[in-house]
Amino acid sequence: MTTPQAPRTLPDGRPIPAPTGPERAMLESWLDFHRATLELKCQGLDDAQVRQASAEPSSLTLLGLVQHLAEVERNWFQRVLAGQDVPPLFEERTGYGLDPERGPAQALAVWRAEIARSRELLAGWDLEDTGRIVDEPMVGVEVSVRWVLIHLIEEYARHNGHADILRERIDGTTGT
């Protein structure tokens, strides 16, 4: 008797994280799941909607989250692990600042390009390979690829919680 295979995607198109298998495949699949969740939270919204803040005093927006996570991808994979001296993607290094000329399509394209670059770099590393943190308060601390993947899963998961609240405020969509 064979065990049924788990579906590879959810009905909404997001990849289902690997339920079994090697550690690296599990870590990468969880990161991909969270990346897809953020993108799903932005689907079907116009420019004004992705710029809508959650609630005062916060100025957090879905557009700002996408930009921030593009900066996060760039920082951890290119600066920390690859040791590259690359400039910030946006005017504000955190990515949260909004430019009236940059809409969701452009921000999502930049974010997707950073993900593609992250995947390209990641393919050449083992989980035990290391880089050094470049920002305060931990400048110079050595971290492994494993640590970075776990950190990024946590970072996306936290921000996807913010995205849940933002999306519910925008149009009532919950879950996902």
- pLDDT value of residue 91: 87
Residues 32, 122 contacting (CB under 8 angstroms): no
Is the pTM higher than 0.75?
A: yes
Residues 46, 151 contacting (CB under 8 angstroms): no
- pLDDT value of residue 175: 76
**Half-sphere exposure (Cβ direction) of 35: Cα atoms closer than 13 Å:** 23
pLDDT digits (tens, 9 = 90+) for 77-119: 999 999 999 999 998 889 999 999 999 999 999 999 999 999 9
**Token pair recorded at residue 50:** 């992705």
- pLDDT value of residue 92: 85
Residues 118, 151 contacting (CB under 8 angstroms): no
- pLDDT value of residue 50: 97
Cβ-in-10-Å burial (0-12, 13-18, 19+) of 118 comes to buried
Q: How far apart are CA 88 and CA 73, in angstroms?
A: 11
- pLDDT value of residue 5: 65
Cβ-in-10-Å burial (0-12, 13-18, 19+) of 139 comes to exposed
127: closest CA among 15, 20, 22, 21? Answer: 22
pLDDT under 70: residue ranges of the chain: 1-7, 176
Q: Which residues pair with 9 in a beta bridge?
A: 15
